[in-house]
Amino acid sequence: MATLHIVDANGRAIVVEAGQGQTVMQIVRESGASGMEALCGGGCSCATCHVYVAPAFADLLHAIGEDEDALLDCSDHRATTSRLACQIVFDACMDGMSVTVAPAD
Ligand code: FES
């Protein structure tokens, strides 16, 4: 198990133990964090799972996909560390990673 740190839409900090193979979207939703709607269920078609990944962990993630990039471009809240949580498969090498739920568009 590895640890994921979450800051939800209300600014509440949550720390969860997570197994590898789940997406960060699934982990955040199961944590009870607010603000993670994930309306499309992980299909990379809604962008309601938008998070900011702590910069120190950005290099651990696979390159952003074309669809993910296009969806994030539609957000008024896109930042350099923006990702869609449903596109990040959690792995032990991400132990200690921090994600912040982005404001809703
Ligand atoms: S849950 Fe819809 S894009 Fe991630």
Q: What is the pLDDT of residue 19?
A: 85
Nearest Cα to Cα of residue 77 among 23, 41, 26, 35: 35
Q: What is the pLDDT of residue 50?
A: 98
pLDDT tops 90 at residue 6: yes
Q: Is the pTM of this model over 0.75?
A: yes
Per the document, the length of the chain is 105
- HEC string for the chain: CEEEEEECCCCCEEEEEECCCCEHHHHHHHHCCCCCCCCCCCCCCCCCCEEEECHHHHHHCCCCCHHHHHHHHCCCCCCCCEEEHHHCECCHHHCCEEEEECCCC
Residue 1 pLDDT exceeds 90: no
What tens digit of pLDDT does each residue of 22-40 get?
Answer: 999 999 999 999 999 999 9
Q: For a pocket test of ligand 1, which of 28, 36, 37, 45 has the largest count of ligand atoms closer than 8 A to its C-beta?
A: 45
Give mean pLDDT, residues 88-105. 96
Give me the domains of the chain, ranges plus CATH numbers.
2-101 (3.10.20.30)
Ligand 1, CB cutoff 6 Å, lining residues: 25, 38-40, 42-49, 84, 86
Distance 38 CA to ligand 1 centre (A): 5
- Ligand 1: which atom is nearest the Cα of residue 44? 3
